[in-house]
Structure 1
Amino acid sequence: MTGESGTTRLPRQRDTTPTAQVRLLVAVGTDKHPFDRLVDWLAQWHAQAADPVRLTVQHGHTPAPGVPGGVPFLGHDALQQAMADADLVVCHGGPATILEARRHGHLPIVVPRDPARGEHVDDHQQLFARRLGAAGLVALCETREALHHALATGLADLSRYAVAADPHAHEARRAAVDRVGQIVEELVDRATRRPPRWRAWARPDRGAKETR
């Protein structure tokens, strides 16, 4: 398989020995809003998971989870290494996090933040994640049941959440980041667009002055 840059893309090589633990990275990003819902869903799943899993849970401003492997933040290099080491990646709907996961060969399991629950300032993560989910570029999970099902599926068959990795395509990544930013801006603008205000000249009963 060859990408636009001409480099050959190879699938990630994972440790499939019988004693190997599945390595799961969960990343909620650096947004100042807590994301208790995702962390709680993960803890509930972990408590009943049949197979041992090695967790790294980057929980940001969310209180530390009651599972091993919790860390508030990861620097850029540490996050890159965690992405490279992971067998499965669960993340919020942040465009940059999603792109990094795919660049490292993951089909990310995405739980977008919901502004109605105080998890973000707007719904751009929901809009963006749903668009990518419909295109098959992420595994979209908006309920606890969907997340638990995705994780169970991933443990049973890691290849279900693997894509071709191309860690050297830096220029293609920059272009992708720019395009993602444009898409997010368009989605947010469309979601927040309001009809123009009525002006006095359009309402004969209000006189000649424009009202604001």
Structure 2
Amino acid sequence: MIFVTVGTHEQSFNRLIQCIDELKLENVISENIVIQTGFSTYVPLNCEWKKIFSYKEMKEMVHDARIIITHGGPSSFIMPLQVGKIPIVVPRQKQFDEHVNDHQLEFAKEVEKRQGNIIVIEGIEQLQNKILNYDQIVMEMPKGIKSHNKKFNNELEKLVEEIFTVALK
């Protein structure tokens, strides 16, 4: 199953939903597709869909899906990372009136560059290839979220020890 979420932003994301619906219609994608359409106005004809899913339903969809395709909102693409899945991220873009600016695109590209654990789609024409080659693409990518907590805690511990050492002298 492929799960697509466009979040709850008040502007539509018809570009992504229509692309997915057409890929299903053309049988480019043969597996089941479920779309959370949010405030989009395009109504999918070839996929299961619902405007809004509860948090519990979202977690279930992410858990059950082979591929998760999200907009560029961090909450939407972090959830798959938390369960070790690599999301395909299609950021909303200002030029298509999907958001007020291009912060989703800029942020997603930076996460992709720094973490290497999301697949960012800037041009919708790239989406078909990424879906069809998803398993091969993610095979060599890091899964989940890279955490620097251990390094931070070790550095903090050293700093505290130095402070106490100096204070006790």
Scaled by the length of structure 2, the TM-score of the pair is: 0.77
Query: What is the aligned-residue RMSD (CA, Å)?
Result: 2.3
Match of 1:106 in 2: 85
Count of equivalent residues: 145
**SS at 1:29's partner residue?**
coil
Computing the radius of gyration from Cα coordinates, the structure with the larger value is 1
Alpha-carbon shift at residue 158 of structure 1 (Å):
8.4
Scaled by the length of structure 1, the TM-score of the pair is: 0.62
Q: Tell me, in whole angstroms, the C-alpha distance in 2 between the residues paired with 1:99 and 1:126.
A: 15
Aligned pairs (5 A) from 1:160-179? 160=139, 164=143
Match of 2:94 in 1: 115
Equivalent of 1:39 in 8, 17, 20:
17
Aligned pairs (5 A) from 1:60-209? 60-63=38-41, 64-135=43-114, 136-154=116-134, 157=136, 160=139, 164=143
Residue 55 of structure 1 pairs with residue 22 of structure 2: no
CA contact (8 A) 2:90 2:121 kept: yes
Moved over 6 A (4+): none
Q: Identical aligned pairs, as a percentage?
A: 24
Q: Tell me, in whole angstroms, the C-alpha distance in 2 between the residues paired with 1:161 and 1:58.
A: 29
5+ residue gaps, structure 1: 1-22, 167-171, 176-212
Q: Tell me, in whole angstroms, the C-alpha distance in 2 between the residues paired with 1:43 and 1:152.
A: 15
